[in-house]
Each structure stands twice: as C-alpha cells, then as structure tokens.
C-alpha cells in the first residue's frame, strides 16, 4: 500500500497537548537508496461538495510502518498480477489509448495498462470504490530521488484523477487506514498548517495544484489536454535543515516549472513548508 502516498515515508509520534492529539513528523534521513524506483499508482478521488470540489484523504493507521498517522491518497505499488492477461483483458479501454494518456514512450502498452489496473485495484482495496479505466485521467508522475529524506524505498508513482461514483460510499478498512476525510484541497492545506493533520510533500504539492480548480470537470478537462508532468524532487540541506526543491527551482536540474506554486519546501517547525507560508500553497490569501 501507500504510493507517494507511498513515494515518501513519514514517521509520526503522538503527543498529548491538553485534550488535543498532535501528530508530529520526524526522522529526516540522508541515506542514499541505489535500487531502482518501483512502479506505483495513486488516485486523487474527487467529488463536488457544498463548498466546491472535494478530494478524498485516508488516514494511515498510526502503527503503520509507512506514513503512520498521515493523510494520504488511496494508492500503492504495482503488483505482478496487475499485468496479467486476465487483468489487462478486464479493462474497458484499449491499451493504446491508456499508453498515450501516460505519455511514456519508454514503456510498453501492456506496462502502461497495468498501471491503470493497479490504480483501480488500490481504489477498490483502500476505500471501497469501484471505478473503471474510463474513469481515470493521468495527472502527474512522481519519482522518489536517491535520497528519499523520509523513507528507505523509491517509487515511480503515477497519480491519476477520478470522479467518485455517486452511488458508492468510500470506506476505510480500519486496518491500514482508520479515517476518511472528504475536504476541499484548500481546507486540507489549512488543516495541515494548523497542525490538525499530517501530510507528506507529494500530497502538499498536489493539493496546492488542485486549489487552482473550481470543479471536478475543470480539473479533469485540464488533465486531458496536457501530458502528465514528471516530478523528481531534489533534496539538499541548507542551514542544517532539509529542503526539497522541484522543477523550476534554482537548485533543481530541470529549469522549467512542472507545477504551479512554490518550487521548494523546507523542513522547519517540524513540518515541510514553503517560503511565503500557507498563502504560497493556496496561491493567495485566506
């Protein structure tokens, strides 16, 4: 389980502050991982809510090895069975169109299709939502760097968008996940900033991106009109603190921005935050 939602690992510790539980990220590491990144898929499940577009977040069990206590998108690693003839045949969309949607010329059509299978399976297993390949729209691709900062594994994770089925209800499994949160991207970031929830950098940046869209149709249309950006974070230490920069940052080898908003997050105040504070993530004032 856990893709970048799985692409990072976040260890958290519970502290009692009056009658409120606070979850604090810890354990920034500098070790190098030389193994190739493993394929993974995650789904940004979307729906229309009273205050605008909402996204589904799942709270990982606090005892989980990966991302314990953090809120993540449903997702996980690609299994061998996801590429089986049976699994591929069950897709209701041809492999060529799925391959084109990912925009990755270096992988086969069957490989591309298997990533869609993985996304569908993870959505079903982690939040109980049954969707089809036709419901998925490729959104972004996150590749863990050799110095992951928060874990000891690397993943090559394809992020997909999907509209949550109206007739279905998302549920957590009460094993790997213990809570479900439907909220606007903006409110999720506000809750993160106020210390009410824990988020890893890929979730922070993805939620910030979603803040620019006012409806599910808006973001799905945008995604269908462009190639998914590739994001390989570039970590480094500055003044004794870990910084993670993204394409377009002066310290990143890729000169052009791949994402709107800030080009770096710095680990301070026991969390990752950008220069410019919360307003930088929200693309404007509260």
For residue 91 the two structure tokens come to: 């897709």
- pLDDT of 179 higher than 80: yes
- CA distances, 18 to each of 7, 21, 193, 196 (Å): 33, 8, 19, 14
Q: Which two tokens stand for residue 162?
A: 């999907």
Residue 65 tokens, joined = 């090895």
Confidence category of residue 96, pLDDT binned at 50, 70, 90: very high
Are residues 108 and 115 in contact, defined by beta-carbon separation less than 8 angstroms?
Answer: no
Name 12's Cβ contacts closer than 8 Å, sequence gap at least 6.
23, 24, 25, 26, 62, 68, 69, 70, 198
Percent of the chain surpassing pLDDT 90: 76
pLDDT, one tens digit per residue, over 66-83 is 667 889 999 999 999 999
Residue 86 has pLDDT above 50, yes or no: yes
pTM, entire model = 0.89
**pLDDT reported for residue 183:** 98
Give tens-digit pLDDT for 100-138: 999 999 999 999 999 999 999 999 999 999 999 999 999
Looking at residues 51-59, what average pLDDT do you find?
Answer: 96
> What does the DSSP assignment read for 188-257?
HHHHHHTTSS---HHHHHHHHHHTT-SSHHHHHHHHHTSPPPEE--EEEEETTEEEEE-TTSTTSS--S-
CB neighbours of 67 closer than 8 A, spacing ≥ 6? 2, 5, 6, 8, 9, 10, 60, 200
Q: Return the CATH number of the domain spanning residue range 11-282.
A: 3.90.79.10
Q: What share of the chain is helix, strand, coil (3-state, %, to 5)?
A: 25, 30, 45
- Summarised one tens digit per residue, pLDDT across range 196-227 is 999 999 999 999 999 999 999 999 999 999 99
**Residue 26: its pLDDT value, please?**
53
- Residue 240 Ramachandran class (φ > 0 left, ψ -120 to 50 alpha, else beta): left
Least confident of 63-72, 85-94, 157-166, 207-216: 63-72
> Which DSSP symbol is given to 79?
P
């Amino acid at each position: 389980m856990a893709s970048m939602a799985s692409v990072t690992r976040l260890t958290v510790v519970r502290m009692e502050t009056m009658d409120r539980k606070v979850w604090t990220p810890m354990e920034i590491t500098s070790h190098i991982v030389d193994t190739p990144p493993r394929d993974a898929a995650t789904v940004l499940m979307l729906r229309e809510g009273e205050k605008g577009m909402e996204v589904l977040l799942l709270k990982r069990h606090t005892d989980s090895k990966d991302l314990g206590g953090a809120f993540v998108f449903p997702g996980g690693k690609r299994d061998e069975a996801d590429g089986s003839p049976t699994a591929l045949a069950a897709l209701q969309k041809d492999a060529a169109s799925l391959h084109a949607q990912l925009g990755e010329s270096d992988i086969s059509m069957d490989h591309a299709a298997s990533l869609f299978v993985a996304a569908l399976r993870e959505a079903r297993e982690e939040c109980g939502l049954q969707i089809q390949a036709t419901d998925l729209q490729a959104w972004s691709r996150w590749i863990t760097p050799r110095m992951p900062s928060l874990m000891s594994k690397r993943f090559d994770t394809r992020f997909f968008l999907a509209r949550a089925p109206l007739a279905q209800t998302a549920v957590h499994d009460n094993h790997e996940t213990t809570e479900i949160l439907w909220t606007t991207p903006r409110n999720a970031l506000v809750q993160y900033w106020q210390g009410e929830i824990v988020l890893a950098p890929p979730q922070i940046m993805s939620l910030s991106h979603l803040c620019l869209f006012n409806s599910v149709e808006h973001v799905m249309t945008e995604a269908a009109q462009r190639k998914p950006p590739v994001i390989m974070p570039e970590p480094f230490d500055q003044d004794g603190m870990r910084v993670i920069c993204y394409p377009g940052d002066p310290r990143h080898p890729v000169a052009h921005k791949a994402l709107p908003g800030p080009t770096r997050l710095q680990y301070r105040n026991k969390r990752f935050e950008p220069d410019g504070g919360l307003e930088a993530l929200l693309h404007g004032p509260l």
